[in-house]
Amino acid sequence: MSAIWLACCSEAENRRVEREIEKRDASAQLLRMNDPDGARRMVRALPLGAARVVLVESERTGSVENVVEGLAKDGCAQQIVVMTRVVDPENVARLFSAGATEVIAVGEGARTPQNMASERAEGVLAASGRDAPPSAPTVAAAGSADAGEEGPRSASAEEVAVADPSQEIVLQQRPSAGSRAAAQGAQTAHPVARTVAAPWARAPLVTAISGRGGAGKTTLVAALAYCMAAWGLRTALVDVDLMFGNAHALLGAEFAADIATIAQAGEADFEAAVERSAQRVCPGLTLWGPCAVPEQAELVAPCVGRLIDLLRSEADIVFADTSSSWGDAVAETVAQADRCLVVSDRRTGAVAATKRAIGLAAKLGVPRAKMVCVTNRFEEKPPAEEAALRMEMEAGLSSMTRIGVASDEAVELMQIGRMSEVLGAQTGFAADVKQFGRTLARELGCVIAPIEAPPRDPAPQGRLRIRFPWKQAAV
């Protein structure tokens, strides 16, 4: 019996969907539906595993993430393929997390965040997720795109996230100027795939803020950064509390390298100054900041944005801890954030302080969808539950999490820089941090290894332009 494919798309998109299905199974039977919910009901009515589904995400249909999640929960569809016009790494990661087996960006309207700004390229990127066999992504030779040939193979979600961002993933090259001139006036049945830079080339930035000091954001950021490094990501941590930051102490460094050296560097030797100011913490984790002399903070502040830009081109993920008083450096760091962690606790006035922090971040252009309400030092007791619920309701953010109270022993260990022992213990704090870290990594498109596994080499050959001490021990 031929495979049954249910396509949820408009009549205009039907031909494109047919071509994608023909690449997979020329003898497949195709049934088109306009309603995503109707497609889900139809899948449930068919024999278990008999149907495969293609969902087209467009301006007309909007996001299909909820439909994908429902189909995956039902467990009746053998394959769930999503076709989208915008290559957004966060959207792709969410779709894979919801249960999609393949995400494809197609058509002349398919645009990455890079070429949205530059308008230099359009293209096709296919990335297959669940149960995809591991193999290296391929790049077709220049001028080899042919509408009649079978399209490039799909790359797994793991491959896409860890691939060298200097490479172009699963793409057919843009034809040369001579080829384009020769092809002028020729009519093509459908668009030809073109070069698109990998959207994962820029590492995500996670910034922690709070409405006042003492909420525990430095502890949380240090613990998350340590976990990411242990899970195999090259992790950069910038202490933007330039005057009085103490993230280095929590991570076991007695003294902090002076970040002020980047302010004294000229245009030509800025990267060398960034290397010199790198603090070697543990395998995969490198720290910048604060200033050795607090009075120099005003000199360093204008350079923080450039530092973060450089780190985002070299690391896998970047964390930033901020001060409770906001200056230009903090404001610029918050404005660039891919995730803004709004950290609060149960103390009196915490709700009002958190709302002020959210309001200020929103004024800087951070969408509320990128903010996470973090209730820190949460206790499993009725008063604490009521306080946490009130905080989450007042914050009004769709994303929220709770981090348990660290034991007195864990606090003492963190004060002397024994973060590995704190996170290795079987405590609520360690479990909450790890769970939140995994969620954060998945949403940002970072592929991580189990924390129990030994970290991989955080500095593969040929990736870095700058020699950062990603795998040196603490000094």
Question: Could you tell me which of 191, 223, 216, 147 has the C-alpha nearest to residue 374?
Answer: 216
- In this prediction, residue 171 carries a pLDDT of 25
Is the per-residue pLDDT at 271 higher than 70? yes
Q: Where are the domains of the chain?
A: 4-200, 202-443
Is the per-residue pLDDT at 161 higher than 70? no
Task: Domain 4-200: give its CATH code.
Answer: 3.40.50.2300
Is the per-residue pLDDT at 102 higher than 50? yes
Question: Could you tell me which of 380, 378, 424 has the C-alpha nearest to residue 400?
Answer: 378
Give how far Cα 153 sits from Cα of 133, 170, 234, Å. 11, 7, 28
Confidence band for 177, pLDDT divided at 50, 70 and 90: very low
Euclidean distance between CA atoms 2 and 29, whole angstroms? 6
Task: Domain 202-443: give its CATH code.
Answer: 3.40.50.300
* More confident call, 321 vs 187: 321
* More confident call, 2 vs 440: 440
pLDDT in tens, 222-232: 999 999 999 98
Alpha helices (runs of H) in 156-216, residue ranges in sequence order: 157-162, 177-182
What are the tokens at 345?
Answer: 């606790």
Euclidean distance between CA atoms 301 and 461, whole angstroms? 32
Confidence band for 120, pLDDT divided at 50, 70 and 90: very low
What are the tokens at 235?
Answer: 């992790």
Give how far Cα 4 sits from Cα of 42, 43, 45, 161, 316, Å. 11, 10, 12, 31, 40
Euclidean distance between CA atoms 222 and 438, whole angstroms? 15
* More confident call, 64 vs 309: 309
- In this prediction, residue 58 carries a pLDDT of 64
What are the tokens at 388?
Answer: 């946490």
Specify whether the CB–CB gap between 455 and 283 falls below 8 A: yes
Give how far Cα 246 sits from Cα of 24, 67, 138, 219, 474, Å. 55, 45, 45, 10, 15
Q: Which of 64-68, 70-74, 344-348, 381-385 has the highest mean pLDDT?
A: 344-348
- In this prediction, residue 343 carries a pLDDT of 96
Confidence band for 65, pLDDT divided at 50, 70 and 90: confident
∠253-445-425 over CA atoms, to 5°?
Answer: 45
Euclidean distance between CA atoms 192 and 229, whole angstroms? 40
Q: Specify the range with the lowest mean pLDDT, choosing from 346-355, 379-388, 415-424.
A: 379-388
Question: Could you tell me which of 97, 366, 73, 355 has the C-alpha nearest to residue 206?
Answer: 366
Confidence band for 178, pLDDT divided at 50, 70 and 90: very low
Give how far Cα 225 sits from Cα of 29, 251, 368, Å. 49, 10, 23
* More confident call, 109 vs 380: 380
Residues across the chain: 475
Specify whether the CB–CB gap between 168 and 280 falls below 8 A: no
Q: Specify the range with the lowest mean pLDDT, choosing from 116-125, 251-260, 327-336, 395-404.
A: 116-125
Is the per-residue pLDDT at 360 higher than 60? yes
Considering the entire predicted model, what is its pTM?
Answer: 0.58
Confidence band for 280, pLDDT divided at 50, 70 and 90: confident
- In this prediction, residue 198 carries a pLDDT of 40
∠137-6-155 over CA atoms, to 5°?
Answer: 5
Confidence band for 450, pLDDT divided at 50, 70 and 90: low
Specify whether the CB–CB gap between 175 and 141 falls below 8 A: no
Euclidean distance between CA atoms 239 and 217, whole angstroms? 11
- In this prediction, residue 106 carries a pLDDT of 65
With residue 366 as reference, give the H or E element that holds it: none
Confidence band for 437, pLDDT divided at 50, 70 and 90: very high
| Percent with pLDDT over 70 in the chain | 71
Kindly state the average pLDDT of the residues 117-144: 33
Kindly state the average pLDDT of the residues 63-88: 79
